[in-house]
Amino acid sequence: MSTSVHHAPPPSPTEPHILDNAAWAALSGPHADLAERLGRAARYPTDVSPFSALADPADPRAWGDLAALVGPGTATPVSGARGVPEGWTIERSGDGVQLVGTALYAEPAPEAERLGPADVPEILDLVALTRPGPFLPRTIELGSYLGIRDRGRLIALAGERLHPPGWTEISAVCTHPDHRGRGLATRLVRAVAAGIRERGDTPFLHAAASNTHAIRLYESIGFTLRRRTRFLLVRAPGGQPETRGPGEPGAWQPEVRGSREQEAGQPEETA
């Protein structure tokens, strides 16, 4: 089976697409009330999301603002940067793909329930087991999260993360290993997308570039490749090393879904 992906129409060559810098567009737009911002740099609170963002990753002044915002010696993930200025170091890097759901068939899932702050302990347990990406104590404030229960136990989850104007990212898609093969994640993705479409936004998501199986599955339900991207874990100049955000493998890649566990089983749930 081919691992190729179908490309979405390219944006105008004269104007960057808002999704080229999705984290900044969210932090300076719909999520501005959550943003910790200094000049040309912004980030979410450390108990909400690992995201940091630059207004222009090619602008040294933005990197200066980010250094002041995160503090000396602090490591933080960024996207859209080809490299780092002098004094910064790249701790890790990873390649990802961005997919848009312009052709995704969206519909509510009657069995899904909206999750709230009281459900966070259960969400954290499920995320720790399945590792779809970082989910922190206040991540639920980023958007709507839906779950499916079996005999009262949370067994599947999907929700919203970045909110660039006109777009909403689908994230935290996961299913308990004992309940895979039932299409639960697919139903939740479609249900989350239905809510996104209802308010006039278009859904999108990210996946690890190496996770070709997941990419094929996302395509099969209507997602289209928009662009390839690169994620960096960078460390600010000076000070004692300090990493913000969760420290487990893969958690520094806040926009990339596709851990070893998912490649082994989770993507089957999304199509």
pLDDT value at residue 240: 67
Q: Considering only CA atoms, which of 4, 40, 46 is closest in space to residue 225?
A: 4
Partner residues linked to 243 by β-bridges: 75
- Let me know: does 97 contact 225? Beta carbons within 8 Å: yes
Q: Which domains does the chain have, with CATH numbers?
A: 18-95+228-243 (3.40.630.30), 100-226+256-270 (3.40.630.30)
pLDDT value at residue 5: 47
pLDDT value at residue 83: 92
Q: How far apart are CA 93 and CA 78, in angstroms?
A: 10
Measured over the CA atoms of residue 157, residue 158, residue 159 and residue 161, the dihedral's sign is: positive
Start-to-end Cα distance in the chain = 16
pLDDT value at residue 58: 95
pLDDT value at residue 259: 38
Q: How far apart are CA 195 and CA 142, in angstroms?
A: 14
Q: How far apart are CA 81 and CA 226, in angstroms?
A: 18
- Centre a 10 Å sphere on the Cβ of residue 237 and count the other Cβ atoms it contains: 15
Beta strands in 122-166 (DSSP E): 145-150, 153-160
pLDDT value at residue 213: 82
pLDDT value at residue 209: 94
The CA angle 189-23-19, to the nearest 5 degrees, is: 70
pLDDT value at residue 239: 75
**pTM summary value:** 0.85
Name the maximum alpha-carbon separation found in the chain: 55
Find the helix or strand (DSSP H, E) in which 126 lies: helix 120-130
pLDDT value at residue 79: 87
Per-residue pLDDT of the chain (271 residues; tens, 9 = 90+): 434 444 455 554 557 899 999 999 999 999 999 999 999 999 999 999 999 999 999 999 999 999 999 999 999 999 889 899 999 999 999 999 999 999 999 999 999 999 999 999 999 999 999 999 899 999 999 999 999 999 999 999 999 999 999 999 999 999 999 999 999 999 999 999 999 999 999 999 999 899 888 899 899 999 999 999 999 999 999 976 655 544 443 454 544 444 333 433 344 344 3
